[in-house]
Structure 1
Amino acid sequence: MTQQVTSYFQPDSALAKALPGFAPRPAQTEMAAAIAATLRKKGQLVVEAETGTGKTYAYLVPILKSSGRAMISTGTKALQEQLFHRDLPALRDAIAPDKQVSLLKGRSNYLCIHRLEQAQAQGNDLSLAVQKQVIEVKRWALRTEDGDIGGLSSLPEDAEVLPQVTSTVDNCLGRDCPSYDDCYLVKARKRALEADIVVVNHHLFFADMALKDVGFGELIPHADALVFDEAHQLPDIASQYFGEALGSRQLSEMAQDAKTIYLTELKDLRQLDKAADKLLGSLRDWRLAFPIDPQRGNWRQQSQDEKIQAAAAQLTENLEFFREVVKGALGRSQDLDTLYERCVQFIHIWQLLQNTQRTGYSFWFETTPRHVVLHQTPLQVADKFGSYVRESEAAWIFTSATLAIGDDFGHFTRLLGLESADTLCLPSPFAFSEQGMLCVPRFLPQPQQREMLDALVQITTQVLDANPRGGTFVLFTSHRMLQLVARQLENLTERPLFVQGTTNKRELLADFITAGNGVLLGTSSFWEGVDVRGSALTCVIIDKLPFGAPDDPLLQARIEDCRMRGAEPFTQVQLPPAVIALKQGAGRLIRDSGDRGVLIVCDQRLVTKPYGQLFVASLPPLRRTRDLAQALDFLKEINGETSA
């Protein structure tokens, strides 16, 4: 099989004829051969393939040419859709036209016909804005074929109506639903069961893994091969799904669903409406017991606060009263019966999260302006995930542009318990030393000093002067610094300014690319998974090394756990994810063989601290300078080319 696979990466292959602009790349061929060998022996392979390697085709060709069923999991829904709608169809038609391919998303991405009917039945009990949105959803529902909410472009991504017309594991009626035979989610899962290749995302994979662990069945069909793209995200996502979380939003939605049942089905059950109102009131008091400003904190410590204990006790009492009212009406409504099961499960998790003395977990909370979420996150997932991999009879492929620290994969394989995985590190074909420059400007303040804001604004304005025709990313490690810089830049430049949070990520990026010489200010979500080619992005400025916030409760717990195991927390816990994150941010700059640009890292620690060498060694081999004027001259040179 290996020889057959590598033959597709030759200049005269079917692949070359089918894909315009295809050119053989040695690293791509090497990766495809290694994956073919792993599929054959049902092994495990971890591949770092730098930007420009062509890793997508490198794993798709062997998967398409192998027998058996495969699952491909991506880091984001955007990448999932690109793979399914663009990359896979072109390849499949060229080399494996008989293969059946399916796209499967999480249930909240599909319209729930039953809940749409419930929303319509509420009529004037909904706000005017939501009533209009329900009408818009109904219009779309008449013409959609797959029920994928992603196709509902006439409403914003965070439209208030969406939770009311989609289902969750908690409120789905399953086979008891009157619309079960027409259910879009059921149809999508059926297509997935019949397909040779299923494209999912990491969140869905781990949701499925967690469900199977407690015996609720299986969403994702059994596969002979599993490929994880953007695999560097897996350890954090696995931690989320192997833990427990409960938020006031979930409890609030349950109470609202109870009110819907009262208004539409059980109009004589006034007690249900009262119990829901009492629960909603105690949820508001619960949020008010926490500081007003949104934050994350240590739940073990915060739970000792008397005000919070009193609010928690009241919430517990009202939650149990709500359960008893629902229990008294069991059998009268299928929706109410499901609501009861949901309430019992929520009470179980709530009680679990009040018992913070258990070891091996981080207990933490986060607040938004209106809600509170409590979390119990395992400090390690290696045992659980590693045994899952070992017990399966499938091949496992993990790939990303950022998995290794230098040339060492130990951090990644240790976190996921991949004890026997083969590893492969493939360099980019790009001529980084000719295409780009890395600058760490001299005489910068320390990152935590007040003067850093002015220095960052000054460097940004100098870059904009030298880069009039090209686009600029300014990437931050905190929302606070982003907002401070944004406020100053508004008065200092007339260039199009795109600030994260002003609209959704997809629109912001599309508008930035269209502008051609815009300035985009973003935090973590723009450090990865963003592909801007050509002169639309010729400079990336990074405010500082992306170490986790020292007051982050999950990080604190991992540091403490590391100390208890006798290891060194900085090198084991804090340094590796920061190196990977900087590598991701730097990877936004050179996306094509024709790209040119400057990367400016505004953090002296890159050159003054011993660990700085590890960061630099993990970055693309760009030309390096400490002289900002030299970097600006290179930008001017690029802009001269752009204007020609």
Structure 2
Amino acid sequence: MALQEAVGRVFDSDGLLAQAVDEFKPRAGQTAMAMAVAQTMEHGGALVVEAGTGVGKTFAYLIPALLSGERALVSTATKALQDQLFGRDIPRLLKVLGLPLRVALLKGRSSYLCLHRMESARQSLFGNEAVALRHIAQVEAWSLVTRSGDLAEIPALDERSPVIPLVTSTRENCLGSRCPQASACHVNLARREAMAADVVVINHHLFFADLNVRESGVAELLPSVTSVVFDEAHQLNEIGVQFLGRQMGSGQLAGFSRDLAARGSQLALGVADWRALVESLEASIAALHQLCGSGARPGRRGWSLESPQGVDAQVWQQALDGMGTALAAAQEVLTHVAEMSPELALLRDRADSLLESLREFAQPVPAGVVRWMDVDQHFRWVQTPLDISQAMQARVLGLAVGDHGRKSWIFTSATLGHDAKMSLFVESCGLQGAQVLQVASPFDHAAQAALYIPRNFPKPNEASHSACVAALVADAATAIGGRTLVLTTTLRAMRAIGDALRQYFSGDAGLDVLVQGQSPKRELVERFSSAGTDGSKGCILVASASFWEGIDIPGDALQMVVIDKLPFAPPDDPLVQARAQQLESDGKNPFQHYHVPQAAIALKQGAGRLIRRETDRGLLVVCDVRLAQMGYGKKILAALPPMTRLETEDEFHAALLSLTRPSTTGRSPTSGP
């Protein structure tokens, strides 16, 4: 039976899905996507599918992949979706389809316990770090029972924990076949299982990291699979460029210094003055950190000349010379002692690599790339191409697969473009010539959702804008008992709006106000989702950045999404500036060809948090008058689902009152912060 015919039967009203999955009902959009995926998998080539919220795209690509009888690779943007596919969706479908396929999960090194490094993790801690020691004890106990070695199995271990670098390996510090724990290595086990599996689930970070350095095992896996699916494909370009260039930062340097201190004194005590070498390195790192990040505003800083923006070129060169001297001294000593231990030989190789990167960043910026410095608690230097198009065309899309002809490449997401051709995504990923399909959401957005753009509002660049957003949110959220997600375009606006709402709702009578950063993302979403139940307070969640996508809060828990302003890319971002300059050199208008499409896609992602099920109802509020007043606003509005437009404040308040369960806090819906 041909693949398309087999797939069609599974999605029929009396097919296997209808028989085995209670909540399944045939959807024309889902079936159309599944048939397009099946056709591409049969004949090869590339397919780009934008599948609106509720289409069921996961089943639409998994079922053809599982029924094809060929090996398949599925890549996602997040580890959360990766775990969901491996742990829930694929096993469920294999049971429905009655297929005995082998499935493997493959993540990057930092996700897996390194048994060898765990043995010395305690010695890597300085001073009495009670919390870290407790976490290491948890890891040690868990290591005795885990099979996969995936640290995600330890819920109490936050992914930002400083313990993770101590108990995991990197490409730079892994001993490979020379490791005494090589036969029991969790990374090697995961790779062996991936090579033997019929379906392998990876993530975009791993895909591009391997495309660049061929280290994770994907390079060996890719030629053996027939179909490759990129879910959450809208993130491909931004993730990809981070891995296709060169990076160097304080984290790498500090890790090298830490390992030098531990391994040198442990394996070659008395051979060299390890303390002096480490002190010289740490002093050089501190000098660079002072120069790069001390007191600086977090974010990206341009780097078009000899030194990063705002850094004196002469002082910069002196700091680089100091780091180069410290690394060269460590390299010289390590060269003499490398034969004493595989770990010392590896440290010597790391010193070589760091010196090579340092020399690269000491040179002027090469043509055709963009360089910048990320500043946060640490600093990181990055040099990348402007997009992934050339790498995808040269190193991915043309890859053949034995006697099966060309591979099939499926790119899908709920949000890929602002136009029918999805041109911004297609061009940035080098997918010109790919088949393009848009599948609309099955939700009745006109009946389920309404859009309100407050007309009498300050412009986004006016000082009073955030205060007015907070006032509107306080009014509206009071009327519906919380149930409100506020998405901001900047951390500054997030803090300003969050502070204003907390001040207004202080005391026992008001709503709870949660702000991104006060707890891990998963915990904030869980608290928000359960707010207002069992007599608890209603809740407002104020967030930015990662909360614009990947948040699924169906039902009455979320009934209003407020977006403070149109999410234009920061014009001072070095990568954005470089892309705009490239468009200008090609004779195109950067605002029309990049900024407007990018803002439309981002707004579409944020708006997608509102309606997640056929029974959901809610309001989308965009507090940016430009959306209604400027000509480009029409293009951005056209990218949104067809919601009912609320033209007046009275219509907005009437819509609020129509939503479920008004507030019982006793505060007046007409008062503000």
State the TM-score, normalized to the length of structure 1. Answer: 0.96
Q: CA deviation at 1:156?
A: 2.6
Q: Distance in 1 between matches of 2:426 and 2:462?
A: 37
CA distance in 2, matches of 1:134, 1:458: 46
* Contact 1:271 1:325 (C-alpha < 8 Å) held by counterparts: no
Matched, 1:339 2:347: yes
1:133 Cα deviation (Å)?
A: 2.4
Q: Is the contact made by 1:262 and 1:273 (CA closer than 8 Å) also made in structure 2?
A: no
Q: Which runs of 5+ in 1 are unaligned?
A: none
| Residue identity (%) | 37
* Correspondences of 1:392-411 after superposition (within 5 Å): 392=400, 393-411=406-424
Q: Is it true that 1:532 corresponds to 2:557 in the alignment? A: no
State the partner residue of 2:174.
172
2:529 to 513, 523, 527: 513
One of 272, 294, 301 as aligned partner of 1:297: 301
Which residue in the other structure is 2:385 paired with?
Answer: 378
Please give the alpha-carbon distance, in whole angstroms, between the structure 2 residues aligned to 1:55 and 1:216: 24
Shift of 1:17: 1.8
Contact 2:209-2:244 within 8 A present in 1 as well: no
DSSP-derived class of the 2:456 partner: coil
- CA 1:641–1:56 in 2, change beyond 3 Å: closer, same or farther? farther
- Encode CA deviations 1:405-424: one digit per residue, 9 max, x unaligned: 13222211111111221011
The alignment of Structure 1 onto Structure 2 pairs a total of residues equal to: 641
Aligned to 2:588: 567
The residue aligned with 2:667 is none
Match in the other structure for 1:157: 159
Could you tell me which of 66, 71, 74 is aligned with 1:72? 74
Whole-angstrom distance in 2 between the partners of 1:218 and 1:339:
26
Relative to structure 1, the CA distance from residue 122 to residue 46 in structure 2 (aligned partners, 3 Å threshold; closer, same or farther) is closer
Give the 3-state SS of the residue equivalent to 2:383 in structure 1. strand
1:629 aligns with 2:650: yes
Q: Is the 8 A contact 1:474 1:542 kept in 2?
A: yes
Query: Residue 466 of structure 2 aligns to a residue in which SS?
Result: helix
User: Could you tell me how far 1:123 is from its partner in structure 2?
Assistant: 7.7
CA RMSD, 1 decimal: 2.0
Deviation at 1:126, TM superposition (A): 6.5
User: Structure 1 residue 122: deviation in Å?
Assistant: 5.5
Q: Which is worse superposed, 380-389 or 81-90? A: 380-389
Alignment of 1:295-444 (within 5 A): 295-301=299-305, 302-303=307-308, 305=312, 306-369=314-377, 371-387=378-394, 388-392=396-400, 393-444=406-457
Q: Secondary structure at the match of 2:289?
A: helix
CA distance in 1 between partners of 2:365 and 2:12 (Å): 60
* Cα distance between partner residues in 1 of 2:219 and 2:429: 23
Partner residue, 2:564: 543
When normalised by structure 2's length, the TM-score is 0.92
The one-character-per-residue Cα deviations of 1:377-406 (angstroms, maximum 9, x if unpaired) are 111321221232023331000001111213
Deviation at 1:635, TM superposition (A): 2.1
Alpha-carbon distance in 2 for matches of 1:151, 1:263: 34
Give the structure 2 partner of residue 586 of structure 1.
607
Cα distance between partner residues in 2 of 1:124 and 1:447: 47
For the structure 1 residues 365 and 12, does the alpha-carbon distance in structure 2 shift closer, same or farther, using more than 3 Å as the test?
same
Whole-angstrom distance in 1 between the partners of 2:647 and 2:370: 41
Shift in alpha-carbon separation, 1:275–1:218, aligned structure 2, 3 A: farther
Post-superposition offset of 1:300: 2.7
Report the CA distance shift for 1:630/1:7 in structure 2 as closer, same or farther (over 3 A). Answer: same
Q: Within 2, Cα distance between the matches of 1:285 and 1:111? A: 33
Q: Distance in 1 between matches of 2:168 and 2:287?
A: 28
List per-residue Cα deviations over 1:34-76 (Å, max 9, x = no partner).
0100000011100011001111111111011002100011111
CA contact (8 A) 2:487 2:562 kept: yes
SS in structure 2 of the partner of residue 591 of structure 1: coil
SS at 1:99 equivalent: coil
Q: How does 1:236-315 map to 2 (within 5 A)?
A: 236-290=238-292, 291-293=294-296, 294-301=298-305, 302-303=307-308, 305=312, 306-315=314-323
Inter-partner Cα distance in structure 2 for 1:73 and 1:124: 38
Contact preservation (8 Å) 2:466, 2:564: no
Cα drift, residue 91 of structure 1:
0.6
SS of corresponding position for 1:28 = helix
Give 1:292 deviation, angstroms: 1.1
Question: Cα offset for 1:125?
Answer: 6.1
Matches within 5 A, 1:10-89: 10-89=12-91
The answer as to whether partners of 2:480 and 2:662 remain within 8 angstroms in 1 is no
Q: Cα 1:139–1:445, aligned 2, differ >3 Å: closer, same or farther?
A: same
Give the Cα separation in 2 of the matches to 1:200 and 1:93: 22
Residues 166-175 or 152-161, more deviating? 152-161
Q: Secondary structure at the match of 2:268?
A: coil
Three-state SS of the structure 2 residue aligned to 1:549 is coil
Of 618, 643, 659, 1:597 maps to: 618
Bigger Cα displacement from structure 2, 405-414 vs 182-191: 405-414
SS at match of 1:310: helix
1:211 aligns with one of 207, 210, 213: 213
Question: What amino acid sits opposite 1:373 in the alignment?
Answer: R
2:431 is paired with a residue whose SS is: coil
Cα gap change, 1:219 to 1:263, in 2 (>3 Å): farther
The residue type paired with residue 578 of structure 1 is A
Q: Does 2:489 correspond to 1:489?
A: no
Equivalent AA in structure 2 for residue 617 of structure 1: A
Unmatched runs of 5 consecutive residues or more in structure 2: 401-405, 533-537, 665-673
Encode CA deviations 1:256-309: one digit per residue, 9 max, x unaligned. 011110343222244233212210111011111134133421123444613333
Partner-residue secondary structure (3-state), 1:300: coil
**2 CA distance for matches of 1:121 and 1:256?**
10
The range that moved more, 427-436 or 282-291, is 282-291
